[in-house]
Homo-oligomer: A and B are copies of this chain.
Amino acid sequence: MDNRLFTRIMRLMTVPRLRDVARLAGVHAATASRALNPATRSMVSAETAQRVLEAAAQLGYVANPIARSLKTNRTNSIGVVIPDLTNLLFPPIVRGIDDVLSPLGYSLLLVNTDNDKEREAAHIASLRARQVDGLILATALLEDPLLQRLGEQRVPLVLINRRMNTPGFPSVTGDDAGGVYLAVHHLVTLGHRRIAHLAGPQHTSTGQFRLRAYRQALQDLGLPHDDDLVAHCSAWTEAEGARGLAELLDRGVEFTAVLAGNDLLALGCYDLMRERGIHCPDELSIVGFNDMPIVDKLQPALTTVRIPHYRVGSEAAHMLLERLHKPDTPAKSILLPLELVVRGSTAPPASSRRPGGARQSGETTLRAPATQDRPDSVSPSRPHSPILTEL
């Protein structure tokens, strides 16, 4: 208490308020406010504006955002809701968001949900109580009552990474179908015919879309589909990846390559292969999804579909800004084009390889084929530009 009073006195002595600026400039506080705000500055004569700005500079005046927010219902802050910051996917995304928003004066409030919808609900309630201007969420489920409710309440938001089945939600994600096609095409070109898939959780768009695209790609490339080649993982974790591959192997079904639903599942495959003494890529090729930091340093370096995470973040930030400024614009979805990064974890299957054939090291990047070949996407205006969909 004593200390609070002290702080208070210190603040009054040191921190100038709007009325101090106004007094120094010889105007009323309202005029000072108008002069200080670029949007309303034109309501004030050039000279007074000048005097006010000088006074503010002289006093080192910084407006109190709390007081402003109380009046305006805007806070210049946005909530970023992710499952877990220590998942290597998210830091680049968050940087992408921050690099766009922080120069515009926005602050980021970051929360981790650990994929727990209750925690998420509590965090979102807290963020809304704090009057964040908008939300960027990486936690969407295909069916997601929590987020549906936000949509109904017209909370400005943008989904990243994962989408919902419900239309009307703006989102920025990778073009999962295109990426899967690249990966499967690559494996087929290498000579693989029996390609397994570790599918991620089917209540997330990434899990479901990638599985569907895998089936579609096999069909498009003239390979028969065999449900025994699919193992379902209940979470995007290394442990589940190892479990999934073990399940496939223990089924006794034959395959020479695995398309893992994401890089963490692929890491799990590495673990299991080491445990069972299976050599990658000689005995089994692995393709991941995401191109997380560091997977290029693994042994063997992981062939994977690259999602431009930083750009997911920056595009989402721009999209949210647009939602804030033109809330009545129809929601858009951006599907960012993906690339396949070919590294050391894929090779021709043992049967079709010449003994002693030297493997090339280093990495190669493959882009998507012309997108109009795939029926489920709008053709982009420029090559490799994002695919826009009106929801």
Question: How far, in Å, is A154 (CB) from chain B's closest CB?
Answer: 8
Q: Does A131 contact B (CB under 8 A)?
A: yes
Q: Which residues of B contact A102 (CB under 8 A)?
A: 111-112, 123
Chain A positions 124 through 149: 1 when the CB is less than 8 Å from some CB of chain B, otherwise 0: 01110111000000000000000000
Asked whether, in the complex, the Cβ of A125 is within 8 Å of the Cβ of B95, the reply is no
Chain A positions 1 through 25: 1 when the CB is less than 8 Å from some CB of chain B, otherwise 0: 0011001101100000000000000
Q: Does A385 contact B (CB under 8 A)?
A: no
Chain A positions 205 through 218: 1 when the CB is less than 8 Å from some CB of chain B, otherwise 0: 00000000000000
Asked whether, in the complex, the Cβ of B75 is within 8 Å of the Cβ of A85, the reply is no
Question: With A85-B95, A98-B112, A293-B88 in contact, do A125 and B62 touch (Cβ < 8 Å)?
Answer: yes
Q: Does A358 contact B (CB under 8 A)?
A: no
Closest residue on chain B to residue A86 by CB atoms: B91
Asked whether, in the complex, the Cβ of B112 is within 8 Å of the Cβ of A109, the reply is no
Chosen A-B contacts, 21 in total, with CB atoms closer than 8 Å, are A3-B327, A10-B154, A62-B125, A62-B129, A66-B131, A84-B95, A85-B91, A86-B92, A86-B293, A88-B294, A90-B91, A94-B110, A98-B110, A98-B112, A102-B112, A102-B123, A107-B130, A108-B111, A109-B109, A270-B297, A297-B298
| Known interface pairs A64-B131, A98-B112, A297-B299; 19 further A-B residue pairs with C-beta atoms within 8 A, sorted by A's residue number | A4-B73, A7-B73, A11-B73, A62-B125, A62-B129, A64-B70, A65-B131, A66-B75, A66-B130, A66-B131, A67-B70, A85-B98, A86-B293, A91-B91, A95-B112, A102-B123, A107-B126, A108-B110, A110-B110
Question: How far, in Å, is A197 (CB) from chain B's closest CB?
Answer: 23
Chain A positions 347 through 390: 1 when the CB is less than 8 Å from some CB of chain B, otherwise 0: 00000000000000000000000000000000000000000000
Q: Does A63 contact B (CB under 8 A)?
A: yes
Interface residue ranges, A against B (CB under 8 Å): 3-4, 7-8, 10-11, 62-67, 69-70, 73, 75, 77, 84-86, 88, 90-92, 94-95, 98-99, 102, 105, 107-112, 123, 125-127, 129-131, 154, 267, 270, 293-294, 297-299, 327-328
Asked whether, in the complex, the Cβ of A129 is within 8 Å of the Cβ of B63, the reply is yes
Question: How far, in Å, is A224 (CB) from chain B's closest CB?
Answer: 35
Complex: how many Å from CA A130 to CA B125? 20
Complex: how many Å from CA A63 to CA B130? 9
Question: How far, in Å, is A349 (CB) from chain B's closest CB?
Answer: 23
Closest residue on chain B to residue A326 by CB atoms: B3
Complex: how many Å from CA A93 to CA B64? 30
Closest residue on chain B to residue A325 by CB atoms: B3
Question: How far, in Å, is A130 (CB) from chain B's closest CB?
Answer: 5
Q: Which residues of B contact A107 (CB under 8 A)?
A: 109, 111, 126-127, 130
Q: Which residues of B contact A327 (CB under 8 A)?
A: 3
Complex: how many Å from CA A62 to CA B124? 13
Question: With A107-B109, A129-B64 in contact, do A95 and B91 touch (Cβ < 8 Å)?
Answer: no
Complex: how many Å from CA A65 to CA B111? 17
Closest residue on chain B to residue A129 by CB atoms: B62
Question: How far, in Å, is A77 (CB) from chain B's closest CB?
Answer: 8
Complex: how many Å from CA A271 to CA B108? 35
Complex: how many Å from CA A89 to CA B212? 36
From B65, B88, B267, A88 is in contact (CB under 8 Å) with B88
Complex: how many Å from CA A270 to CA B62? 48
Q: Which residues of B contact A126 (CB under 8 A)?
A: 105, 107
Question: How far, in Å, is A71 (CB) from chain B's closest CB?
Answer: 10
Complex: how many Å from CA A98 to CA B123? 12
Asked whether, in the complex, the Cβ of A70 is within 8 Å of the Cβ of B66, the reply is yes
Complex: how many Å from CA A91 to CA B91? 7
From B3, B65, B112, B298, A129 is in contact (CB under 8 Å) with B65
